[in-house]
Each structure stands twice: as structure tokens, then as C-alpha cells.
Amino acid sequence: MESAHNGPRIRAATLRMVREVHRSPVIPGRDAALAFTPGEGPFGERAADLLASRAGVLETRFRRYDALVHDALKLRDRMVLTHGEPHPGNTMRTRDGRRLIDWDTALISHPERDLWPLDLYRLRWRLNDVAEEARRFSLPHMGDDDAFGWTILCDTVNDL
């Protein structure tokens, strides 16, 4: 049980851990998107063709993302806990008023992260979607729920 004396220290330690976990601006699966090797399954070869046809665009967009991250990291003193997806679907009405829910995308970042139109954060979401779906199709897959991932990959890559 947390005592009144230990509470601030525990909260500070927790915040430090969260900050360390989310400090890296690296997009997991980036290599899978840029040097794609298809996995066995109904979307592997299609994903390979799509990513190869847009390889130059993907490389340019990842370089743009890297430059934006470089600039943003110069302003670390402005970083706060951010939600990542503050839209009406992530709110809930309670007795005490509306609350922001679904904090699975929380990060320590600039407050502007919660303003989607800013290029760095919008680009991060889109490149992350490409990397995640590329990783999915580089592995053996059965096609069960992969059709939705294929739609995400096509729409996002073609929109970049």
C-alpha cells in the first residue's frame, strides 16, 4: 500500500520509467518496410510489389520523419505526458464529466503530439502503420484478419 510519504516518490519513479520506455523515436519494423521480404501467405507477394513500387517515397518520408524528430528532440524540456489519439471516440461521460480514455498510445512527448495536423506526429502514425503491416506480411500468415491490414497498408502507402 502506498503511504502519503512514498506517493510522490513512487509517481516520480513511474514517470521516469514511462519516459525511458517511450524516449526512442525509432519506428519498430522500419527495416521490414524498407527492405521487405515477403512471408508465406496470401498477401506476402502483393505487399512486396506494393512496397517495391513505392520504395523511393517511403525512403523520402522516413528521412523527413528523421529530420523532424531531430528538431523535436532539441526541445525536450517541453515534453509532457500525451495521449496520442484525443478524439471523441476516446472519451467517456462520467458523473464528474467527460474523461479521456484508451491510453494505450500514451507517450512522453511535446504537447503538440495531441494535435494531429502537425507533420511529425501525423507522419509517425502513418509510417508506423506501414511498418507494422509490412512486418505482418513478412511473416507466415493465413489471411484470416489480414485483409484489413492489407487495406491499411495499401491506403497508407499510396497516401504517402
Specify the pLDDT at position 46: 96
CB distance 41 to 142 below 8 Å: yes
pLDDT digits 0-9 by tens, 32-69 = 899 999 999 999 999 999 999 999 999 999 999 999 88
Euclidean distance between CA atoms 6 and 17, whole angstroms: 17
Question: For residue 134, what are the CA distances in angstroms to 39, 62, 127?
Answer: 10, 14, 10
pLDDT digits 0-9 by tens, 91-149 = 899 999 888 888 888 888 888 888 755 788 889 889 999 999 999 999 999 977 899 99
Rounded mean pLDDT of 19-32?
71
3-class secondary-structure state, position 118: coil
